Amino acid sequence: MIAVLTYKPYIRLRKIIVVMLAAIAIALPQSSFAQTGVPESHVKAVFLFNFTQFTEWPEGSFADGNAPLVIGILGNDPFDRYLEETVKDERVQGRHIVIQHYKSIDEVKSCHLLYISEKDPDKVSEIIGALKKPRMLTVSDCRNFTKIGGMIGFIKRNNKIKLQANPTAARSAGLTISSKLLRVSEITD
Amino acid sequence: MLTSGIVLVITCATFTVYEYFSFRESARDNLATVGKIIAANSTAALAFDNQEDANELLSGLRTEKHIVAACLYDENGRIFAKYPPNIPDDQLPMAPGRVGFRFTDDYLEGFQPVIEQVVPLGTLYLKSDMEAMYERLRLYSLITALVIIASFLLGYIVSRRLQKRIIRPILHLAATSRSVTKNQDYSVRAEKTYDDDDELGELTDAFNSMLSQIESQNDKITSFNQELEEKIRKRTSELENANNELAVVNSKLIKSNRDLEQFAYVSSHDLQEPLRKIRTFSELAGRNPGNREATQTYINKISSSAERMAALIKSVLNYSRLSKADDHQEWVDLNKTIDEVRTDFELLLTEKNGQIIKEELPVVLGMPLQLHQLFYNLVSNSLKFADKDPEIRVSARRVAAKDLDLPKADHLFLEYHEVRFKDNGIGFEQIYADKVFAIFQRLHDRQNYPGTGIGLALCKKIVENHNGFIKVQSELGKGAEFYIYLPVL
């Protein structure tokens, strides 16, 4: 087969093959479960769920012992129904998890975790400024999210979703992000 | 030693076995703990798909040198992170297994679920080798061996010290007492080792004081014995002396008895004849009182018989008087004695034309009167029984007692003077050699040769009084040789 490829008319084919091989070669080392062939949104959805386990909400965050933990999505829902699926039968500290969708910031009721689905940092900055709701973990995949006051941001490195965390922002909201989570995140204060 | 050795070995073995099992359990617990810690810390890495963090976490196992392999599985059972970083996947379990840690072959391995709150995020696998335990066991075995050796050594040393301090002194005491018994030497004392006042020292002291007592008692007994023996010896020698004296007295008494017998013999025999004559002639004179001639003859005969009786009695008395040896002894020069005797017989010698020829005679210890009597009698005898011109020769020499054929066994002297008195008289047959010295024994009748028959007996008595002997050698017609032995003093 290699011999075939040396034939002149197949030079173009050879180029394609080389590119494909290169792409595969680049893609192969990723033995990570989460991220080979898994859509980004799914990963983020799982991460969101996981955040709930690595965050401590203070006293008074819940009405009572049975009150559910609310995850709010502000803006477009990038997860489709995947987030609902993920959290369906799960419990966090014995609480159910409820997903709420908000179209605008006014709709944002008290939720425990707010996913801001907006890419524009200026807009996100506005949103954060307008939120003023304590005990709410803010998450976004907007660029420099944590630098502009967000608590946990998704970033992409080497084709993998990594985390950025701003524990100070979280603390000022009364939240405690587990050091385990912080350890696997890039800290920006 | 053997018993305690066995006990020690059993104890150590039991201990080691217990330690083996206990160590296994604790190793398992340790691994489980490590597993739980790592699992707890790896939740975020798994939750947020952070392989770097997971690997970094597992690489912390580097410090635990007995953990040879570890890996984290994601919730789908695929390997997420591994340790050591380069370990090939086929050396790790393909998928997570049963929760918990167990021993397989030479390893301890198992799985620990990684759970954040209630959400399972994955599984941790840990594999540890048993080197730690083996090391421990080896160490225990070494310690056991060392302890056993040290115990044996210590036991040996202690027993040796005990021997020295206790057993040896005891054996020494036993040996001492044995030797005392065997040799009967009570002056031996047991040595006190270490010279301190422990019980053995007391025992030794008591033993020694006992020996001292025994020794002193023994000495007392011995000295008593010696005193007794001394007393016995003294008594025995006293007895012996008494016996000797008695023997002497006895022999003297025997002699006296003999003399008495002879005296009695005389009175019953030799005196009878003259007495018979007196009675006969008295009777005859009484029957013929008118016949004056006859009466005169009878009276003469009676008178001479009476005189004869008087002479006999006198000589016997004289003999008896000489029974006893006089205490008064002095040095007598026999030369002088012979000269005096010669003087006594001066007249008779001239008359018979006799002579006494004397050679050098010794000086002897004795009674001068008796010695004079001795030679007087001998000379008288020789002159009486001479049939021609009498020639008497007297000489002397010294002889050793053992050269003499002595009659009695009780000679006391080593050397004797042998005085030879030879005459040229009529002599007599040798068979009468002993008889001539017997009292009143006469070889010839009175008609031819007068005399009482007591002279030579007297000589014998005198010589015996001087602790000496007298012998005679004679031949009929050839005279007689008298040998007088007097002790050299």
Per-residue pLDDT of chain B in tens (489 residues, 90 and over written 9): 678 778 888 888 888 888 888 888 888 999 999 999 999 999 888 888 888 889 999 999 999 888 899 999 988 888 889 988 888 888 888 888 889 999 888 899 999 999 888 888 899 999 998 887 788 788 888 888 888 888 888 888 888 887 777 788 888 888 888 988 888 888 878 777 666 678 888 888 888 899 899 889 988 999 999 999 999 988 888 888 888 888 888 887 887 787 777 777 766 777 888 888 888 888 888 887 888 888 888 888 889 889 888 887 887 777 777 766 566 788 999 999 999 999 888 888 888 899 999 999 999 999 888 899 899 999 988 988 888 899 999 999 998 887 777 655 555 788 899 999 999 988 888 888 888 888 777 777 666 666 767 888 889 988 988 888 899 999 988 899 999 999 988
Best residue in A33, A49, A92, A181 for a mutation probing chain B (most B CBs within 10 Å): A33
Binary contact (B116, A183; C-beta < 8 A): no
Using DSSP bridges, classify how beta strands A137-140 and A113-117 pair: parallel, antiparallel or unpaired.
Answer: parallel
Residue B150 lies in a domain: no
**Residue B42 phi/psi, 5° resolution?**
-95, 5
- Which of A52, A33, A53 shows the shortest CA–CA distance to A43? A33
B21 is written with which tokens?
A: 């099992």
> Which chain A residue lies closest to B47 (C-alpha atoms)?
A50
B148 touching chain A per CB within 8 A? no
Binary contact (A178, B80; C-beta < 8 A): no
H or E segment at B71? strand B67-74
Pick the last residue of a domain from B108, B138, B168. Answer: B138
B117 touching chain A per CB within 8 A? yes
Using DSSP bridges, classify how beta strands A91-92 and B330-333 pair: parallel, antiparallel or unpaired.
Answer: unpaired
> Which chain B residue lies closest to A45 (C-alpha atoms)?
B48
CATH 3.40.50 residue ranges for chain A: 40-187
B48 touching chain A per CB within 8 A? yes
B481 touching chain A per CB within 8 A? no
**Residues whose CB falls within 8 Å of the CB of residue A14, separated by 6 or more in sequence, listed in order:** A5
B441 touching chain A per CB within 8 A? no
Q: What is the CATH number of the domain that holds B418?
A: 3.30.565.10
Tally of structural domains, chain B: 2
Q: Is B448 exposed, middle or buried (0-12, 13-18, 19+ CB in 10 A)?
A: exposed
Average pLDDT (A131-152) is: 85
> Which chain A residue lies closest to B117 (C-alpha atoms)?
A53
Range of the domain at B8: 2-138
B79 touching chain A per CB within 8 A? yes
B76 touching chain A per CB within 8 A? yes
Pick the last residue of a domain from B96, B115, B138. Answer: B138
A97 neighbourhood in chain B, CB within 8 Å: none
B447 is written with which tokens?
A: 């008609």
Binary contact (A184, B43; C-beta < 8 A): no
Residue B394 lies in a domain: yes
Pick the last residue of a domain from B91, B107, B138. Answer: B138
Neighbours of B285 (CB within 10 A): 18
Q: What's the number of CA atoms in the CB half-sphere (13 Å) around residue A162?
A: 20
A33 touching chain B per CB within 8 A? yes
Selecting from A35, A53, A178 the residue whose C-beta is nearest the C-beta of B119 gives A53
Query: How far, in whole angstroms, is CA B291 from its chain's centroid?
Result: 99
Q: What are the distances in angstroms from CA B192 to CA B168, B189, B202, B204, B312?
A: 11, 9, 9, 6, 96
**Residues whose CB falls within 8 Å of the CB of residue B330, separated by 6 or more in sequence, listed in order:** B365, B366, B367, B368
Q: Is B286 exposed, middle or buried (0-12, 13-18, 19+ CB in 10 A)?
A: exposed
Average pLDDT (A139-153) is: 87
Report the percentage of chain A scoring pLDDT > 90: 4
Predicted local distance difference test score (pLDDT) of residue A22: 53
Task: Name the amino acid, one letter, at A7.
Answer: Y
What's the CA gap between B102 and B111, in Å, rounded? 9
What's the CA gap between B270 and B310, in Å, rounded? 12
A103 touching chain B per CB within 8 A? no
A180 touching chain B per CB within 8 A? yes
Within the 119-138 window of chain A, which residues sit less than 8 Å (CB to CB) from chain B? none
Selecting from A31, A163, A180 the residue whose C-beta is nearest the C-beta of B41 gives A180
B73 touching chain A per CB within 8 A? no
What's the CA gap between B41 and B43, in Å, rounded? 6
Provide the 3-class DSSP secondary structure of residue B99: strand
For chain B, the distance separating the N- and C-terminal CA atoms, rounded to the nearest angstrom, is 91
> Which chain A residue lies closest to B76 (C-alpha atoms)?
A33
ipTM metric: 0.72
Q: Is B135 exposed, middle or buried (0-12, 13-18, 19+ CB in 10 A)?
A: exposed
Fold of the domain built from segment(s) A40-187: Rossmann fold (3.40.50)
Binary contact (A163, B48; C-beta < 8 A): yes
Predicted local distance difference test score (pLDDT) of residue B221: 93
Query: How far, in whole angstroms, is CA B125 from its chain's centroid?
Result: 100
A36 touching chain B per CB within 8 A? no
Predicted local distance difference test score (pLDDT) of residue B138: 86
CB burial string A66-103: b at 16+ within 10 A, e below = eebbbbbbbbebbbeebbeebbeebebeebebebeebe
A130 is written with which tokens?
A: 């307008």
H or E segment at B281? helix B272-287
What's the CA gap between B429 and B449, in Å, rounded? 17
Task: Name the amino acid, one letter, at B257.
Answer: N
The partner residues of A157 in beta bridges, in order of sequence, read: A160
Q: What is the CATH number of the domain that holds B69?
A: 3.30.450.20
Binary contact (A50, B47; C-beta < 8 A): yes
The partner residues of B70 in beta bridges, in order of sequence, read: B83, B126
Binary contact (B44, A90; C-beta < 8 A): no
pLDDT value at A28 more than 60:
no
